[in-house]
Structure 1
């Protein structure tokens, strides 16, 4: 009986993420969604009350978020959400064009049938979600973020470079914060399904030059949309 109970406990512990991972995931989600305004101070005691974690996993989670560039350590050894600015967005975009396009080219070269099926399935889920969004002002929610991220990550998932995939994913998430911020201020929502479909089709045809050109324009289009909003709206920098 004790052996069975111990096996059950071990199995349960394997299924439950460590506290640091849980804290990191929840904080990361809320930073990306704008729950914490750009520049907002992240006070440890307030985070403990909000999430129910002790200081140790929260400090580790904050350090990991700082490594991703989503938050910054300030001069008083605290943390603030990274500010939103046109300069930061343009730097993120420049790096995405460099890394994401290369990752897609490598994926097209190395991807197999299972990879193709993953891309198609991810696009189908994204198209379903986008089809339910209105044409008017819209706040992009976590559901859209999840399927949008999954599609773009599926495209590059066959790249043999783990570092390239990891860096691309981090930059994608940093850009996601800008996408969700700007969506709140745009008067209309431009459905991206047609762009995503063209990108998928070129990828599945193994037309690397066309697919990479489409991805590059897709990334630059996001930059243009966000910059248009930033030119009219001053982000709340918290404090």
Structure 2
């Protein structure tokens, strides 16, 4: 069984991240949150005023975001937030099905007891947060995003391929932008606890075929839900 190294908290004082990493994290968060609308131009002077960073770390942060596909770079026009479209979502979804499902299958094959505990703990935190969400209009906040991401990343964390885990995480975040976008137009929150529990249970049983089928359907259902919202937005007068 492949040995996986897990990160645990210790008493070592946390170091302040480099300015580039700070700028990247803040910009990335705001792009995912929809602070900047799809297609919006990201002007360097305005970003400097907003975040308090000099141009150098901001340019590097923007370049890294462009590599992730969250923004687009144009030598003449600068940087813009990536557009939102059914075609882009379909491409993200296709790649997620290819990579995430394989990463989960590898995780099930190689994960140890510590990995199982990580998955259970991540699901518990997600379930607690979702239980506090009302049935009325809701905007998915950063707290939900963090625990939702942590659960899905825990599932694939025992894959021995670092590249596979990294690419899956990047695609997950690109899909997250669509989830957050569509949530702004929904009247109620779509509780996913039952889906996540079934996915966790199959994973812990080491039933790779069932777990992978559930994950694929979970990814495809996200696409369907977002497409339904995109269709309604396009049909709304003024859009």
Q: Deviations over 1:99-154 (max 9, x none)?
A: 00000000000000000000000000000000011112211010000000000000
Residue of structure 2 in register with 1:109 after alignment: 109
After superposition, the C-alpha distances for 1:2-47 in whole angstroms (9 at most, x for unaligned) are xxxxxxxxx97x7100000000000000000000000000000000
Asked if residue 149 in structure 1 is aligned to residue 149 in structure 2, the reply is: yes
Q: Name the CA distance, whole Å, in 2 between partners of 1:218 and 1:194.
A: 11
Looking at structure 1, the residues matched to 145 and 51 of structure 2 have their Cα atoms a distance apart, in angstroms, of 22
Question: What is the CA distance between 1:74 and its match in structure 2?
Answer: 2.3
Q: Counterparts of 1:159-178 in structure 2 under 5 Å?
A: 159-178=159-178
Tell me by how many angstroms 1:162 deviates.
Answer: 0.3
Highest CA radius of gyration, 1 or 2?
1
Aligned equivalent of 1:158: 158
Shift of 1:75: 4.7
Is 1:196 aligned to 2:189, yes or no? Answer: no
In the alignment, structure 1 residue 84 sits paired with structure 2 residue 84? yes
Residue 5 (structure 1) aligns with: none
The TM-score, its normalising length taken from structure 2, stands at 0.92
SS at match of 1:50: helix
Q: Deviations over 1:193-218 (max 9, x none)?
A: 00000000000000000000000000
| Secondary structure of 1:232's aligned partner | helix
User: 2-side partners of 1:160 and 1:174: how far apart?
Assistant: 23
Q: Deviations for 1:174-230, whole angstroms, at most 9, x for unmatched residues?
A: 000000000111122121000000000000000000000000000000000000000
CA distance in 2, matches of 1:234, 1:113: 48
Q: Do the aligned partners of 1:137 and 1:183 also contact (CA within 8 Å) in 2?
A: no
How much has 1:234 moved relative to structure 2? 3.9
Equivalents in 2 of 1:138, 1:188: separation in Å? 6
Tell me if the contact between 1:126 and 1:148 (Cα under 8 Å) persists in the aligned partners: yes
Indicate conservation of the 8 Å contact 1:157/1:165, yes or no. Answer: yes
Greater shift, 146-155 or 14-23, is seen at 14-23
TM-score normalised to structure 1 length: 0.92
Instruction: Tell whether the 8 Å contact from 1:136 to 1:189 is kept in structure 2 after alignment.
Output: yes
Q: Secondary structure at the match of 1:79?
A: strand
Whole-Å separation in 2 of the counterparts to 1:108 and 1:56: 42
**3-state DSSP class of the match of 2:232?**
coil
C-alpha distance in 2, partners of 1:172/1:138?
21
1:215 is matched with which residue? Answer: 215
Structure 2 gaps of 5+ residues are 1-11
Give the aligned partner of residue 98 of structure 2.
98
Find runs of 4+ consecutive structure 1 residues off by over 2 angstroms.
none
| Shift in CA distance, 55/75, structure 1 to aligned 2, threshold 3 Å | closer
